[in-house]
Amino acid sequence: MPARLRTRLWLACLLVAGPAMAAERLPFPADVLNPPWVEGRQLEQTLDADSLAVAHDLQFRDQQPQSGINFRHQVVEDAGRAYKAVHYDHGNAVVAADVDGDGLPDLYFATQLGGNALYRNLGNGRFEDITARAGVAVADRVSVAAAFADTDNDGDPDLFVTTVNQGNLLFRNDGDGKFTNISGPAGLDHRGHASGAIFLDYDRDGLLDLFVTHVGVYTTDKIGPGGYRIGLSDGFSGQLHPDRFETSRLYHNLGGNRFADVTRSAGIEDNSWSGDAHAADLNGDGWPDIYLLNMQGHDQYFENQAGKGFKRRSRELFPVTPWGSMGIRIADFDNDGDPDIFVTDMHTDMVEELPPAREKERMPHNYPQAFLATDGRHMLGNAFFRNAGNGTFRDISAENGAETFWPWGLSSGDLNADGFEDVFITGSMNYPFRYGVNSLLLNDAGKRFVDAEYLLGVEPRRDGKTATPWFELDCSGPDRTHELCKNRAGAVEVWGALGSRSSVILDLDGDGDLDIVTNEFGSVPQVLVSDLAQRRPRLNYLAVRLEGKKSNRDGLGARVQLETDRGRYVRFADGKSGYLGFSSMPLYFGLAADEKAVRLEITWPSGVRQSLDAPIDTRKTHRIVEAGG
Amino acid sequence: MKRAANPHRWPALLLALFLAPAAVAGELRSPEHPDPAAFDPAMRAAVAEARGQLQDAAGWARLGSLYLLVHANAAAADALHNAATLEPREFRWPYLEGIALHRAGQAAAARHAWQSALTRDPNYAPLRLRLARSALEAGHTDAAQDFLADARATATGQELAGEIALARGQVKEAVTAFTRALELAPQANWLHVRLAVAYGKAGDKQKAREHLKARGTRRPEISDPVLEAVSAARPRDVASFLEEAHAALSRNHRYSALLAFQAAVRMDPRSVPALLGIAGLSLGAGRKAEALGYLQRALEIEPGSAEAHFYAGLIQESNGAAARAESHYVRALPRESARYRLARLLLRLGRAAEALPHLEVLTAEKSATAVRFYWLGLAHLAMGNCAGAAAALDAAHARDANSGEVIAARVRVHSSCAPLDGPARARLLAQAQRLYQARPDAGDAETLAMALAAAGEFDKALRYQQQALAATAPEAPQRPFLAANLARYARGETAIAPYEKDSLRLRPPADQYSSPPAP
């Protein structure tokens, strides 16, 4: 066929299916729809994959459309058409727990507008929305974080949700996946600019206590669309305004789902601009300590004084911390038996926008001293504090590849089942910034982290998407004064970058490998399902679900050590599952080539030591009940 | 090489051929005109004028081009369609119609408009490139190849040829095309990514790595005179020139900004913002007299212009005409920067009591910077209010712990008239020592000597005071003060005052924050 005729025919063919005239699509920034750097980044990561020592024989695939999860996170206007640099852009949690006792992890997504959502796991990676019957939508408030834990030791996970100055919520699980709001009677309905929440048994009395971090005042009294409190226009300089400080709060569990605020008497009053925290026994004395993040200043470390209270030892142990700490995960990353600390630093990455090719570099300079409002001793990026084993920590982030750009928080899990905890870091700033990637760092035998998000199918996202419709403007109507309407007329659909906030790593389809679920900002979740179990029919792993008797029912604070012929692995039951998220899930041990486990030893928070000796079945989840209870 | 046609395409293509003419047929359309209230005045006037002259193709084309400029794409497409219908030989109108449709998300209709343009002028390279890219994006590499034709002589054409080759799995051809594109446009460093991809697919990892290292984000550009003519025909008014000038200034393109300000003045000789813009640029270039001339013109038009008074004050102050400067600053007073300059001028003139209220206003805000508190401290010192000075300097230090001048002044005050005790005094001494380590000059030696004396270390104080004295010129006015303090240290007494009377002898703290002194 002659070329001329061929092209005419092709054009005519396309004309038949032409869409109707739509609003003008306005990508902002201009290259957010087709970032010119993505392919180079992908190639850089995959080019030499063959020579990598760390196992990478798996791929993730976003199966959100098939999962039945149709939740869509909705942002307030301060993060959309009325964008301002205020803390609403920190987004919301996704958390996991078996809420109905069927043995499968269910998922709870929080949002700013439109109501949170609880999805029941039907098995095989399928979910159903049970929010309405569970009664946990919280549609009348702007939620932030979520935490599942068994607060009344009755064998099912209860749910705590923080909100932006609209009162926090405790939902008691009535045992069948239905929840009752008991916030007021529980004494947990405080109104403030609450953020992350973690449960811990700080006095080891067998009842889970609650620590709630507070950012500080970043809202006005004016109410915006959807009922949210409109943010301050200078919210990002809150650390300069002592009148805006709010202390994070420690609530002591009195039993019977009643809590008392013991912040002051426990010596943990602190005005850090804090979004999250992590409990862990960092000094090995058997009592959980608290590492409190400060997103606009120095982090704080509170050492547990044998359950009687806390002592601030921040600058002694951590003289230099990130200035903009956002997320934290404490785990034994190098398999030496003690906990190491990985802290992500988002706010330092707001000093300037690094070009994509330089994202693994540290930020070259910091804010002016007058803005930092500290003694100036900060690292400019993520921190990785390696536990030296003698009660001290050393930051090795410059050596082990822990740096990432625009990170929110992190989740860890042994994604390649090689025995070492890998890390998934949510990233990207959404509108009005360029697209940023989520990072997947494979742990190469505790020595370094290897960037693998492109290698393992986490990036590019499904269908190569980097942006989504963010908001619409009527430039010939009420929006004509909007800055994006300048010399524009008619309907405009503004597209902004995609970006994740919270994540949780879990075996959602019960096939033995670990999957990843995200909560996005202004979009639908990613349900990243791993095919490791399908690629490795003899996948060696073991999971442990703890059931405390004398200790708290969830076993939070327990240390679990697994020995094989070739190695020793330690996991800490701490519940921290991702940015703003706290979950109730089994502890997962990847066993690499070890098909047998020879010893499992649990040190319960009660002090009870308990062990199982070979034969211990692998490729299954063990339920371990505390002895002597 | 001749390619075989795909027999499975024929039924759909024949159907499409049957349907196509109906869709192609052109009738005049009635655009849904956008509300002109959203446009700037010049554009509003131009659109109104164009809407009154729609009797021929040129009139519709003018209106369509204007709508393209304001992104009213649906209306632009309709207007340009009418122009194309009325002038069937002109390729520009369907070409621009295609651009409007493409922007509106109507990819297929855009392609159709471009195809119509192609029949009118098969040689316009940007048109062929748009069609080729469009076909490639739809997965039709044969059609893309056909459209490309002679347009491959450009970097964009070669890039597209490379993409077509890649899509066909012809990696060698892709490497050749991308290499040629890079030769034609060496600044388009994004092409290195494409070369790396091509080499990666070809199995040459070394070459792929080399190109990845060289990669950037700049894509090849192509000149499109038709679209450029549309942009050039944008109606202008003073506001648009001012906008252009400010955009140029934000990129530090001062000459472009000056040209835009001048154009605004030509259009409206009474435009105060434009006159001020020229004055500011002249002042920045050191042409004070010229700047003052523009400011005077601005003040004749708008006598109360705070900005004009402020600039005039700056010029008069730098000319040494303090009284005139003061007069201008006072008339610019709602402006915070004018209050700051006025306070500093009054301090310099020895009128601290008059400066003080201004500095108190400037430091009343929560966001007040260290430098403002510093000058407040100096004003208090000049008036003999040591406690007030100490409080202000403490506030300055709390806001900027690294300013050498703030540290020096604070150390002097707390080492003489507002002494500290215990750990606070030890910290003060440590700061003085760090300051001296970082800046070992006479002034900071003197400051350290004061701190040492305050801490009871008189032997060391004497040594540093002698050093300061030795480095001070014999005729320097502060010598008697230095000598008096030397004698006091010898007697075991602290400094008599932070500074000699009536001479603050201070440097302003850096407006840029300095690095912390070495620990």
Mean predicted lDDT score pLDDT of chain A: 93
Question: Which CA distances in Å does B247 have to A81, A577, B22, B253, B261?
Answer: 23, 46, 47, 9, 12
Per the CB < 8 Å rule, is A14 touching B197?
A: no
Q: When comparing pLDDT for B39 and B362, which is higher?
A: B362
Structure tokens that stand for B56 in this block: 């021929």
pLDDT at A328: 98
HEC profile of B178-245: HHHHHHHCCCCCCHHHHHHHHHHHHCCHHHHHHHHHCCCCCCCCCCCHHHHHHHHCCCCCHHHHHHHH
Question: Where residue A362 falls among pLDDT bands split at 50, 70, 90?
Answer: confident
Give residue-wise pLDDT tens across range A269-280: 999 999 999 999
Give residue-wise pLDDT tens across range A424-435: 999 999 999 999
The residue of chain A with its CA nearest to that of B202 is A47
Per the CB < 8 Å rule, is A490 touching B109?
A: no
**Is the confidence at residue B20, as pLDDT, over 60?**
no
Is 0.80 surpassed by the pTM of this model?
no
Average pLDDT of span A119-144: 97
Contacts of B38 in chain A (CB under 8 A): 475-476, 480, 485, 487-489
- B219 part of contact set with chain A, CB < 8 Å: yes
**Is the confidence at residue B506, as pLDDT, over 60?**
no
Question: Where residue A628 falls among pLDDT bands split at 50, 70, 90?
Answer: confident
Residue A575: Cβ-neighbour burial (10 angstroms; 0-12, 13-18, 19+): buried
Give residue-wise pLDDT tens across range A373-411: 888 889 999 999 999 999 899 999 999 999 999 999 999
- A479 part of contact set with chain B, CB < 8 Å: no
Give residue-wise pLDDT tens across range A76-110: 999 999 999 999 999 999 999 999 999 999 999 99
Question: Where residue B517 falls among pLDDT bands split at 50, 70, 90?
Answer: very low
What residues contact residue A590 under an 8 Å CB cut-off, 6+ apart?
A414, A416, A417, A418, A419, A420, A540, A541
Strands A559-564 and A541-547: unpaired
pLDDT at B502: 65
Contacts of A16 in chain B (CB under 8 A): 15-16, 19, 108
A369: nearest CB among B131, B216, B400: B400
Residues 233..292 of A with a Cβ closer than 8 Å to B: which? 237, 240-241
pLDDT at A277: 98
Per the CB < 8 Å rule, is B516 touching A368?
A: no
Mutate to test the interface with B, among A13, A41, A377 (most CBs of B within 10 A): A13
Count, residues in chain B: 519
- B51 part of contact set with chain A, CB < 8 Å: no
In what order do the strands lie in the sheet containing A527-530? A60-62, A527-530, A515-520, A500-506
Give residue-wise pLDDT tens across range A517-574: 999 999 999 999 999 999 998 999 999 999 999 999 999 999 999 999 989 999 999 9
Residue A271: Cβ-neighbour burial (10 angstroms; 0-12, 13-18, 19+): middle
Give residue-wise pLDDT tens across range A205-261: 999 999 999 999 999 999 999 999 999 988 888 998 999 999 999 999 999 999 999
Question: Where residue B9 falls among pLDDT bands split at 50, 70, 90?
Answer: very low
What is the three-class DSSP state of A173?
A: strand
Contacts of A7 in chain B (CB under 8 A): 115, 131, 135, 143, 146-147
pLDDT at A10: 46
What is the three-class DSSP state of A599?
A: strand
pLDDT at B222: 85
Lowest mean pLDDT among A283-297, A518-532, B175-189, B335-349: B335-349
Cis ω before A460 (30° cut-off from 0): yes
Closest CA–CA distance from residue B513 to any residue of chain A (Å)? 6
Mutate to test the interface with A, among B243, B366, B406 (most CBs of A within 10 A): B366
Paired residues of A229 in beta bridges: A223
pLDDT at B2: 36
* Dihedral sign of CA atoms B307, B311, B312, B316 in order: positive
Question: Where residue A143 falls among pLDDT bands split at 50, 70, 90?
Answer: very high
Residues 351..370 of A with a Cβ closer than 8 Å to B: which? 355-357, 368-370
Lowest mean pLDDT among A363-372, B73-82, B407-416: A363-372
pLDDT at B233: 86
pLDDT at B503: 60
Residues 40..79 of A with a Cβ closer than 8 Å to B: which? 40, 43-44, 47-48
Question: Where residue B8 falls among pLDDT bands split at 50, 70, 90?
Answer: very low
**Is the confidence at residue B17, as pLDDT, over 50?**
no
- B388 part of contact set with chain A, CB < 8 Å: no
A489: nearest CB among B20, B34, B190: B34
* Dihedral sign of CA atoms A379, A383, A384, A386 in order: positive
- B143 part of contact set with chain A, CB < 8 Å: yes
pLDDT at B26: 63
Average pLDDT of span B88-103: 95
Q: When comparing pLDDT for A479 and A576, which is higher?
A: A576
Task: Return the half-sphere exposure (C-beta side, CA atoms, 13 A cut-off) of residue A545.
Answer: 17
Among left, alpha and beta (phi > 0; psi -120 to 50; other), residue A286 is left
Contacts of A34 in chain B (CB under 8 A): none
Average pLDDT of span A436-445: 98
Helix axis angle for B125-137 and B107-120, nearest 10°, is 150
A79 and A89 in contact (C-beta within 8 Å)?
yes
Question: Where residue A475 falls among pLDDT bands split at 50, 70, 90?
Answer: confident
A270 and A247 in contact (C-beta within 8 Å)?
yes
Per the CB < 8 Å rule, is A47 touching B73?
A: no
Question: Where residue A2 falls among pLDDT bands split at 50, 70, 90?
Answer: low
Q: Which of A225, A165, A237, A221 is nearest to A195 (CA)?
A: A165
Per the CB < 8 Å rule, is B15 touching A16?
A: yes
B5: nearest CB among A1, A21, A487: A1
Mean predicted lDDT score pLDDT of chain B: 87
pLDDT at A313: 96
pLDDT at A419: 97
Q: For residue B162, how far is the Cα from the chain centroid? A: 36
Contacts of A25 in chain B (CB under 8 A): 103, 105
**Is the confidence at residue A181, as pLDDT, over 90?**
yes
Phi, psi of B188 (to 5 degrees): -80, 75
Per the CB < 8 Å rule, is B369 touching A370?
A: yes
Mutate to test the interface with A, among B43, B217, B240 (most CBs of A within 10 A): B217
Lowest mean pLDDT among A7-21, A463-477, B150-164: A7-21
**Is the confidence at residue B25, as pLDDT, over 80?**
no
How far is the C-alpha of B198 from the C-alpha of B212, rounded, in Å?
A: 11
- B117 part of contact set with chain A, CB < 8 Å: no
Closest CA–CA distance from residue B465 to any residue of chain A (Å)? 30
Paired residues of A605 in beta bridges: none
Per the CB < 8 Å rule, is A36 touching B208?
A: no
Residues 367..386 of A with a Cβ closer than 8 Å to B: which? 368-370, 375-376
B71: nearest CB among A4, A18, A24: A24
B217: nearest CB among A15, A37, A375: A37
- A319 part of contact set with chain B, CB < 8 Å: no
Q: When comparing pLDDT for B401 and B59, which is higher?
A: B59
How far is the C-alpha of A360 from the C-alpha of A371, rounded, in Å?
A: 25
- B430 part of contact set with chain A, CB < 8 Å: no
Mutate to test the interface with A, among B39, B189, B210, B243 (most CBs of A within 10 A): B39
Contacts of A37 in chain B (CB under 8 A): 193, 215, 217
Structure tokens that stand for A109 in this block: 């997504």
Using a pLDDT cut of 90, give the percent of chain B over it.
60
Structure tokens that stand for A127 in this block: 């979910």
Closest CA–CA distance from residue B2 to any residue of chain A (Å)? 10
pLDDT at B217: 81
- A37 part of contact set with chain B, CB < 8 Å: yes
pLDDT at B14: 30
**Is the confidence at residue B510, as pLDDT, over 60?**
no
Residues 497..516 of B with a Cβ closer than 8 Å to A: which? 513, 516
Contacts of B72 in chain A (CB under 8 A): 488-490
pLDDT at A16: 40
Strands A321-322 and A378-379: parallel
Structure tokens that stand for B243 in this block: 């906008």
Question: Where residue B235 falls among pLDDT bands split at 50, 70, 90?
Answer: confident
